[in-house]
Amino acid sequence: MAEESTTPDLVELVRGTIDPLNVGDIDASLRLYAPDAFWDLSSLGLGTFEGVAAIRGFLEEWISSYEGYEVKGEEILDLGNGIGFAVMRQGGRPLGSTGHVQERFASVATWVDGLLVRTVTYLDIDEARAAAERLAEERE
């Protein structure tokens, strides 16, 4: 009988960074980040964040600005060679508002030894998919 791997696959790892955010558990999400992880949100006009402390600060501020914050992975793919691609939808009701906002975006993630080391977020889903595919090929 073959032994099953106890290492989560890349899709499970990506979900492990997303799902905890829906219950406000930033610590659970960040446990999958490398200490020197880098998150590029510049295409959304939000800048870049280097290191878990900076990423935590961003997430705390971002999530706390909403009531009922939710993020879902619509499509999560393992493109091989440690590259993940995800189409995400996030939304919620901004504090002090009666309206609901929603945004769809894509992320390209680089994983090494089960830890997220780099994420680049794109508003253009097709651009993100092409970038992810190129990166996966380059890492072969």
pLDDT tens digits, one per residue of 25-43: 999 999 999 999 999 999 9
pLDDT of 4 above 80: no
Q: What angle do CA 125, 27, 31 make, to 5 degrees?
A: 75
Domain count, the chain: 1
Check residue 8 and give its pLDDT: 65
Compute the mean pLDDT over every residue in the chain, rounded to the nearest whole number. 93
CA-closest candidate to residue 72, choices 29, 133, 18, 28: 18
Domain coverage including residue 25: 10-138
In this prediction the pTM is 0.89
Tell me whether residue 66 is in a domain: yes
Tell me whether residue 78 is in a domain: yes
pLDDT tens digits, one per residue of 78-119: 999 999 999 999 999 999 999 999 999 999 999 999 999 999
Which of the two residues, 97 and 5, has the higher pLDDT score?
97
Pair 52, 33: CB distance under 8 Å: yes
Tell me, what CATH number does 25's domain have? 3.10.450.50
Tell me whether residue 5 is in a domain: no
Check residue 5 and give its pLDDT: 40
Tell me whether residue 4 is in a domain: no
Residue 94 sits at φ, ψ, to 5 deg, of -60, 140
pLDDT of 3 above 70: no
Tell me whether residue 131 is in a domain: yes
d(CA 36, CA 27): 16
**What b/e sequence results for 54-72 when a residue is b if at least 16 CB atoms lie within 10 Å of its CB, and e otherwise?**
ebbebbeebbeebeebebe
